[in-house]
Amino acid sequence: MEERPFSDISYRKFLEEEKFMGSRCRKCGQIYVPPRRFCLECRSEDMEWHEMKGEGELAAFTCISIGPSFMIEEGYDRKNPYCTGVVTLVEGPRMVARIEGVDARNPESIKIGTPMKVEFLHRGEGDKARTFLAFRPA
Amino acid sequence: MMSGSSRRRIGRGVAIVGAGMSNFGMFPDRDSKDLFAEAFSEMLASVDKGFDPADIQAAWIGNFSNDFFVHQAHWGPIIADLTGIVPRAVTRTEGACASSTLAMRDGLMAIASGMYDIVLAGGVEEMSKCTTEEVTEGLALATSPYEGEAGYTFPGVFGALATAYFHKYGAGREHLMNITIKSHENAPLNPKGQFKQTIRDLMEARKARAAKKGEPVPDWADEKEALFDPRFNPPVAWPMHLFDCCPISDGASCILMVAEELAKSFTDNPIYIVGFGQGSGRGLHACPSLTSFEANKQAAAEAYGMSGLTPKDVQFAEVHDCFSIAELIHIEDLGFFPEGEGYKAIAEGETRREGRMPINTSGGLKCKGHPVGATGTAQMYEVWKQLRGEAGERQIPGRDLYIGATQNLGGTGGTCTFTIFERR
């Protein structure tokens, strides 16, 4: 894997390339996503990039009716809530991410434990272009 | 390795000898200075044997985000000027919604170290001049960066924790409603609170309004039926609905702290700070449990270790119920109830004023209001009132109170504090 600093900026650049990347400690094998520069387990700084499988299961979620301005700009509101959640990845770590492909108007239909697969949401144009991590039911 | 839990001690005893709080609510005609002045005046009047504010040697003032909310930062010297503390040291502390508990902590350390003898700690926040969207965005500055970009709001993070708790322990929205109903039962008894109506009062008002307008009158059988009705209690961040969430508030509060050996010169009834702990936590993506705050566990271990007390010794507490699920998690994290059992104890009324372990006799953040920078020392104000038997109609009945506690959360669990108070 190419040389990029183990930083949030690198993590987001990988997302733009539709790669879900964490860092892995070469000494003890611990995986971090978003990436960390230092291993919190063994305190090693010998890290390598690790592409996550992008699979996991839903550990927690919420369906938001009153969102921050960037979500409102995407068209979400009280009548059109969106789902965001916590996914436990097959590699062990958890990640927070938007949850697509579920009925946010009917939260009772969304089940913890549902298998999930990664997705990359590209929103906005030009300088405002952003890529967001998302998951949807597998 | 030192875990830091049981070996920390307060070098010199610290007592609270005065406390004040402004009314909490939405005050378009009052700014942060007006609100702090209100709290400060009450604090001065509460010092039983009198007190000259010129004797304050230093102060710490908690404020989360007035730079965002009212475009004014650097609140230390502004409050110093207001209260006449100038030119002595006044420092702003920021720990999101725990900002003024951190003010108290700095004062505690300063007195315990011998650096100062008489210190003011307080906090202020002025939020209601912003729109709901602006406040949501301002508060979201205290979530973790990853939560922010995933679209989380504050209620959203707590909504996610609620789904994890429900899944793990079999609780549901109806159990969180018990917390809301209880807070609203205490609310009418707190004259300084933002909301003063019980859920039943609000139901009846809604029915009367519908009847007057000639609209269909709701036939809710009880409080929970009303709370399940999305017209009465719309979703904010499912499963957090409007009545699971604390309001947007303006307010201020403060306490006067002195070295233990000076306490009796100010009052015959000082309240001693006997245990304090503070922890930090990571975001939802990295926290070890989705049904507990690691920062709470750290704070509790430190405060119990410092005081030599156990959860059983604490007779009542104010905990940080920014959202209903938070109150439930806190009372388990602090050891008042076993993990996964808190919701059952709440259902049995154990956290009501008359119950075994009264929680949030003030009405909590839910009803008293939550001007974030003022909340920590306002919780201490309630404990001060209860321990001195001065809580009026909301005084915990039938018990001689001598140990109370406050738990304050900042961000989405990034900062948690736990403070234990004793009346001797």
Cβ within 8 Å, pair A95-B146: yes
The CA dihedral of B195, B201, B204, B208, to the nearest 10 degrees, is -50
The mean pLDDT value of chain B amounts to 96
Tell me the percentage of chain B whose pLDDT exceeds 90.
93
Nearest chain B Cα distance for residue A35, angstroms: 12
Residue of B nearest to A81 (CA): B237
Going by the DSSP 8-state scheme, the letter that residue B65 receives in this structure is S
The mean pLDDT value of chain A amounts to 95
Is the pLDDT score of A127 beyond 90? no
pLDDT in tens, A66-81: 998 889 999 999 999 9
Q: Which chain A residues are Cβ-neighbours of B284 within 8 angstroms?
A: 60, 86, 94, 96
Going by the DSSP 8-state scheme, the letter that residue B207 receives in this structure is H
Is the pLDDT score of B334 beyond 90? yes
User: Rounded to two decimals, what is the model's pTM?
Assistant: 0.96
Q: Which residues of B are catalytic?
A: 97, 370
pLDDT in tens, A13-30: 999 999 999 999 999 999
Cβ within 8 Å, pair A113-B167: yes
Cβ within 8 Å, pair A68-B148: yes
From CA A23, how far away is CA B18, in angstroms rounded? 52
Where helices occur in B311-399 by DSSP H, the ranges are 324-333, 342-347, 364-368, 375-387
Spatial CB neighbours of A32, under 8 Å, sequence gap ≥ 6: A22, A23, A24, A25, A39, A40, A93
**Count of CB atoms situated within 10 Å of the CB of B390:** 12
| Residue from A30, A36, A41, A62 to probe the interface with B (highest B Cβ count within 10 Å) | A62
Residue B69: φ, ψ to 5°: -75, -40
Say which residue the tokens 């702090």 belong to.
Answer: B36
Which pLDDT value is given to residue A2?
Answer: 63
Is the pLDDT score of B56 beyond 90? yes
Is the pLDDT score of B5 beyond 80? no
From CA B229, how far away is CA B225, in angstroms rounded? 6
Which pLDDT value is given to residue B6?
Answer: 53
Spatial CB neighbours of B339, under 8 Å, sequence gap ≥ 6: B291, B292, B332
| Sheet with B271-280, edge to edge strand ranges | B89-93, B58-62, B118-126, B250-259, B14-21, B271-280, B415-423, B403-410, B316-318
Is the pLDDT score of A115 beyond 90? yes
Residues in chain A: 138
Nearest chain B Cα distance for residue A3, angstroms: 23
- The residue with greater pLDDT, B57 or B5, is B57
Collapse the DSSP code of B416 into the 3-class scheme (helix H, G, I; strand E, B; otherwise coil) and give the result: strand
Picking from A121-135, B158-172, B178-192, B269-283, which range would have the lowest pLDDT averaged per residue? A121-135
- Which of A56, A40, A65, A62 has its CA nearest to residue A115? A56
Pairing of the two strands A130-137 and A94-99: parallel
pLDDT in tens, B384-403: 999 999 999 999 999 999 99
Q: How many A×B Cβ pairs under 8 Å?
A: 112
Cβ within 8 Å, pair B150-A84: yes
Is the pLDDT score of B359 beyond 90? yes
- Which of A85, A88, A133 has its CA nearest to residue A115? A88
Is the pLDDT score of B11 beyond 90? no
Is the pLDDT score of B328 beyond 50? yes
Which pLDDT value is given to residue B325?
Answer: 98
pLDDT in tens, B161-179: 999 999 999 999 999 999 9
Q: How confident is the model at residue B4 (pLDDT cuts 50, 70, 90)?
A: very low
- Which of B321, B371, B332, B19 has its CA nearest to residue B184? B321
**Count of CB atoms situated within 10 Å of the CB of B240:** 29
Smallest Cβ–Cβ distance between A68 and the set B136, B164, B236 belongs to B136
ipTM (interface pTM): 0.96
Which pLDDT value is given to residue A1?
Answer: 56
Cβ within 8 Å, pair A62-B237: yes
Residue of A nearest to B235 (CA): A65
Q: How confident is the model at residue B1 (pLDDT cuts 50, 70, 90)?
A: very low
Picking from B103-107, B130-134, B271-275, which range would have the lowest pLDDT averaged per residue? B130-134
pLDDT in tens, A17-65: 999 999 999 999 999 999 999 999 999 999 999 999 999 999 999 999 9
Residue B100 in contact with residue B377, Cβ under 8 Å?
yes
- Which of A123, A104, A98 has its CA nearest to residue B152? A98
Tell me the percentage of chain B whose pLDDT exceeds 70.
98
pLDDT in tens, B232-265: 999 999 999 999 999 999 999 999 999 999 999 9
Exposure string for B178-209, b = 16+ CB within 10 A, e = fewer: bbbbbbbbbbbbbebbbbbebbeebbeebeee
Mean pLDDT over residues B111-126, rounded? 97
pLDDT in tens, B181-214: 999 999 999 999 999 999 999 999 999 999 999 9
Cβ within 8 Å, pair B284-A96: yes
Q: How confident is the model at residue B228 (pLDDT cuts 50, 70, 90)?
A: very high
Nearest chain A Cα distance for residue B167, angstroms: 7
What letter represents residue B212's amino acid? Answer: K
